[in-house]
Structure 1
Amino acid sequence: MDGTQNNTLDDPNVAAVAQSASATSRDLLLGRAEQACKECRRRKAKCDRAIPICGLCSKYAALCLYEKHYRTPLTRKYGNLACPPIVSHGFEWDEQYIVEKQTSISGWSPDRSTSEGVEEDPAVVDGMASLTIGESEGGYLGVASGAAVLRLIDPRAASTSGPLKAASKLRPARILSNDGTWPELLCDQPDPNRHIVDSMIDAYFGLYHINYPIVHEPTFRAQYSELIERPNGNCWKFLAYVIAAVGVFTTSNTAETADLALFAQAKSLMHLSYLESGNLTLIQALGLMSNYLQRKDMPNSGYNYLGLATRMAMGLGLHKEFQGWSIPPLKMEIRRRVWWCLAVFDIGATITYGRPVSWPAGGVDVALPLNIDDRLLTAGSTRYPEPSLEFTIYSTVHALSSFYLASMPIYARIISKPFPSAKELVELDDRRISRWCSDLPPFFAKDYQVPQKYRTSQAIVMWKCQNFRIIMYRPFVIRRLLQSRQDRHEPSLEESQAYDRCLHEALSTIESVNNFWTYQKHSRLGAWYALYFLFQAALIPCICLRSESAKDTTSENTDNWLQQIRVTLQVMKSIGTILPTSEKCHDVIWWLCRDSFHEDSSPSAALNPDLEPINESPHTQMNNVYSMMWSHAPTLDADTTMTMQDDAWMAFLEEENNNPYI
């Protein structure tokens, strides 16, 4: 490691300051805290709980912080202020409590009983922006977010009686391991030379790296083995720990949390002073950190770290290639890979959260990464090799980058007002998305057999395309169901195409995810993507089934929709053994469609007497999601909201400039 840096505690000046601080803190002792400070808990040290500074933190000049607690007026039970009982109207958020929450499988803290049921947190935050359904939770306001559609399907989704809260009662609390003990994490401060073992590095490069090659594997391995210099001091250590955490998390096929200790150590190496310099190592670490945090259900934190990485990347000029620049081919290619991996992170998160596009569209002239084998481009290469015709590590980032370049103009339209017509979207789809599909290499085709290690990557690329089309067209599915209820509108050719394409992509996604999960090797990375795209797709048959229920008629398509939901529930139940979030998704889907399963019975439903039939008309459902999906529209008063006619909704979806709500 970096031998030039001395331990600050060995410095006599620091020691003197620490001793002075210790004496001062003793003189200013204000009392005792109810629990240990965060630093002592992190080090698993015995804390004397002295206020304002405990003895150990005073001795070693460490930052001493105590968590404040609140008492709710009804339950009088303690809770952490990081997760307040009421979410702010300003969309404020605090995800600091998530890490502690994730040390358990079911979201409870270590001081609670492992055998009793556990109260749900006041807010549910998930990195998929699908279960965070309160109006003020996380700022997932756009038409593209799953949270908005879930609120559409069940208007009580944002309340304490909604499907997520009710579904949570279906399952008893689970213990953390088979023997009822807490999982033992790695030691507090592992040394990379000893504890970031080869298996963790291999895990990262064996799966995650194939999708997001933001780090050059041969270079990093040479640095890790100290065959070449490790650059940028502690920044390299920071990157190494993030890589280890990501490797452990993504390749695990259980719900273990061993990655948390590694990630905590990575965070301990991150300092604000790093932002006063810029280097490629730090950009790589911040980018990986952001993507990891999204998968650990800390999406807003990850979003912020990604912003830092993006700004720093532009500061280093990664978005530019200069004519006549005498830069070695390998270094240029690494810059391209880092830039476009950040683009995939940023744009993917933007669509997931339904937020405006922040990734720069103008002034970017860096080429896409080449689809090449690492062995053909080394530090000694003086020219670029010919692109490979087979799947490589860089195939996925190339395909996704080109997909986002093709789809971003469409995304910008569907999150803007007025909402595009079906004719416009069908034409954009045919001109941009279909052309992108036709230009894809043949190894991305559904039936093309690629090597086992690339099958997750192959599936992810096609799921992203299918999901984007679902997002494009699902408003037209909703509108058609509203119109069919009164039999008062004959859809145009393009409207019928939009409806059919949405249902087709939803069915294709459900079938593809089911096939993938049945036959491919399981990992948490594959589970995360499979669950996200499956949940998004399953909302479409959910909408259709609930509309048929409201009409009190039977559609010839009902059996197909029911079968899609059955498959969805089976896959989600299986994914739940790896990704606990899947259990919540499973229960939400069941809650939404339970009235349609007349011939089915569910043991979980019998456990919950609160599962009452939902009899809202599509109009009522639509009114409850109105402000959530289109936040730029004026707020409607209570009377108008309850009596809004579907012609106003249709006018809103169509391109009519005289609509007062556009």
Structure 2
Amino acid sequence: MDVYWDYVFPLYPFVDRAQMKAEYYKIWTGDSPQYDENMLMCTFNVIFALASQLADFIVPEEREPAADAFFSRAKGLFQFNLWNTGSTGLIQCLLLMAQYLQSTDSAHQCWIVTGLAIRNAQSLGIHLPQTIARLDSFHEQQLARKIWHGCVLMDRVISMTFGRPAMITKSSSGAVPLPAAIDEEYIPVESSAEAAQPENRPSMMAFYAKSLELYEIMNDVLLSLYKPMSEETAEDAHDFYFSSATSEGERTIFDLDRSLTRWTRSLPSYLRGTSSVSSGNPILHRQSIVLRARFLHVRVLLFRPTLSKYCSVRDSSASDPLDFMHDSFPRRVALQCSIICVKVAQESIDLIYNNVPADGTGGPLPAWWYNILYIYTAATVLIAGRLCSGIIAEVAEAAVTRSWDCALEILRKYQGYSTSARRCVAALEILYEQVMSEGSTAGHTPNQETTDHALGALNDISFGEGMNAAIMDNFEFPDFQDMSWLNSVPSNLF
């Protein structure tokens, strides 16, 4: 329980902490629970499963079986009747289940469970501001906001990871106000009056609100830039690289970058990692690092499509219809976007590398399954960057090599946690070897020993169907004139 309250709850405050602690205490005193006992026991077992994946006192090799034992109990206790109206307790339990399933090879279940949480929340009407306004106390309204936006957050994260369209529309996600940046202990349970955070106490809930704002920008990035588009339809170089927004709600890369800049400026100092307040508070310190990791990942996603297009025409011949782009203004802007993408990928790797504790503990970083995703994404950007002399001229090859070595070192540290890290290392080694061959003289063949080693590692691992395997979905050994491999996480949304 301590692991959950210290490591999970500050990032995902889906439950009422005081209420859950009181119900947990009743288990040991023998008092009757205030809420549905079966659902409570199911929820506690999911919490134990999730915490087992993050507990430093459990060695990495034993975490998965320990977590699976708790989750098996939770599944046995879970009672869901398709024909009955859900409850807030059910939605909270489903959100926690979705969180846990992210750490497993159960992608389909993770996707479905998140969808169930959303549909049950909508059936209760907590996606409507008028429903929340009718609740008796500010405490209940705040909890309802946290639960609905928990559905929004998981919807955005799962969609990004699996490359699938989000279920919750932009208008629906924004209809309910974000949870107030007020910690639970300052919200009276019965009072209908709005509470306030003491001025000298930084709020841990601010992280949740700022994460939700960031993921809404990320959703706009995915909707606007990760859509199927034939390059043959581009009328000019600007459309080819930056595909002007044509559909309602779509935004340009420049507008999205401005939104990210404004979001960064809006952060309180203790979430920027520059305040002495956060450095002296382990939870606030971790929140600042996790938020930075999320921001860097979104920024990579923003510039990656341009990098992909820039690299795809790097060797155009004179007869190529895209040849006119080589000294165009859009081409030069695309080069700068590509350079930024590579530098942000390097920063993402450095952030995680510099905060991975030597003693094997989790440290102040995001959960390990997110670190694997962030590092894999950043590493593929480094590979793409090495294909282009213009990028390497700006970002020193030695610096890219150092970042690459750090990325593989991080993934190898996580190999004991999950097979997904081993899959990523094997796939990246193959990609890297082929890039090196691509950059060499024509007719040069890949180092067969290295390629065979990586292929053997891939063949030895069951890819499964889960979230960890989702990182490797649609992985194919690439034709480097087709840069679709770079955008495989996320893949096209439609």
Alignment of 1:284 with 2:62, yes or no, is: no
Number of the residue aligned with 1:583 = 422
Q: Which amino acid aligns with 1:531?
A: I
Q: Deviations over 1:337-370 (max 9, x none)?
A: 1111121111111111111121133345322112
Shift of 1:518: 4.2
In structure 2, the residue corresponding to 1:356 is in which secondary structure? Answer: coil
Q: Is the 8 A contact 1:254 1:577 kept in 2?
A: yes
- 1:537 and 2:347 are equivalent in the alignment: no
5 Å matches for 1:259-658?
Answer: 259-273=67-81, 276-322=84-130, 325=134, 327-363=136-172, 365-387=175-197, 391-418=202-229, 421-422=241-242, 425-448=252-275, 450=278, 451-486=281-316, 488=323, 489-491=326-328, 492=330, 493-518=332-357, 521-522=361-362, 526-546=367-387, 557-594=396-433, 596=436, 605=450, 608=453, 618-619=480-481, 621-622=482-483
Higher relative contact order (CA 8 A, sep 6+): 2
CA 1:593–1:315: 2 relative to 1, 3 Å: same
Cα offset for 1:495?
A: 1.8
Between the two proteins, what is the percent identity of the paired residues? 18
The 1:525–1:269 alpha-carbon spacing in structure 2 relative to 1, beyond 3 Å, is farther
Q: Distance in 2 between matches of 1:615 and 1:407?
A: 28
Structure exhibiting the larger radius of gyration computed from Cα positions: 1
Counterpart of 1:225, as a letter, is: Y
AA partner of residue 223 (structure 1): E
Alignment CA distance shift 1:490-1:618 (3 Å): farther
The letter of the residue matching 2:311 is: L
Counterpart CA distance in 2 for 1:470 and 1:244 is 33
CA distance in 1, matches of 2:37, 2:357: 45
Instruction: Quote the offset at 1:590 in angstroms.
Output: 2.6
Please tell me whether the aligned partners of residues 224 and 230 of structure 1 are also in contact (alpha carbons under 8 angstroms). Answer: no
Q: State the alpha-carbon separation in 2 of the partners of residues 433 and 400 from structure 1.
A: 12
Cα drift, residue 470 of structure 1: 1.5
In structure 2, C-alpha distance between the alignment counterparts of 1:622 and 1:412, rounded to whole Å: 19
Higher helix share: 2
Q: 1:230-271 CA distances to partner (integer Å, 9 max, x unpaired)? A: 312422222121122112222345232211111101101123
**In the alignment, is the contact (CA less than 8 A) between 1:422 and 1:494 conserved in 2?**
no
Question: Unaligned 5+ residue runs, structure 2?
Answer: 231-238, 245-251, 318-322, 440-446, 457-475
The amino acid across from 1:490 in the alignment is D
Q: Deviations over 1:281-335 (max 9, x none)?
A: 1110011111211211212211101111111111112122339635111111111
Partner of 1:644: none
Q: CA shift at 1:223, angstroms?
A: 1.3
**Which one-letter code corresponds to 1:397 in the other structure?**
Y
Report which stretch shifted further, 304-313 or 528-537: 528-537
How large is the RMSD of aligned CA atoms in angstroms? 3.5
Provide Cα deviations, 1:48-100, integer angstroms capped at 9, x if missing partner: xxxxxxxxxxxxxxxxxxxxxxxxxxxxxxxxxxxxxxxxxxxxxxxxxxxxx
TM-score (norm 2): 0.75
Distance in 2 (alpha carbons) for counterparts of 1:543 and 1:459? 26
Q: Secondary structure at the match of 1:210?
A: coil
Write the letter of the residue equivalent to 2:414.
I
CA contact (8 A) 2:478 2:485 kept: no
Structure 2 counterpart SS, 1:485: coil
The answer to whether the Cα contact below 8 Å between 1:279 and 1:316 also exists between their aligned partners in 2 is: yes
Instruction: Give matches, 1:241-260, under 5 Å.
Output: 241-252=45-56, 254-256=60-62, 257-260=65-68
**Contact between 1:546 and 1:593, CA under 8 Å: does it hold in 2?**
no
**Paired amino acid for 2:378:** A
Number of equivalenced pairs: 422
Greater CA deviation, 518-527 or 272-281? 518-527
Cα distance in 1 for partners of 2:485, 2:44 equals 46
Question: Could you say which residue in structure 1 is the equivalent of 2:6?
Answer: 206
Q: Partner letter of residue 378 of structure 1? A: P
Q: What is the TM-score of this pair, normalised by structure 1?
A: 0.57
Q: Distance in 2 between matches of 1:358 and 1:610?
A: 36
Compared with structure 1, are the counterparts of its residues 326 and 581 closer, same or farther at alpha carbon in structure 2 (3 Å cutoff)?
Answer: closer
* CA shift for structure 1 position 216: 0.8
Q: CA-to-partner distance for each residue in 1:134-180, whole Å, 9 max, x for gaps?
A: xxxxxxxxxxxxxxxxxxxxxxxxxxxxxxxxxxxxxxxxxxxxxxx
Q: Deviations over 1:26-64 (max 9, x none)?
A: xxxxxxxxxxxxxxxxxxxxxxxxxxxxxxxxxxxxxxx
Alignment gaps of 5+ in structure 1: 1-200, 633-662
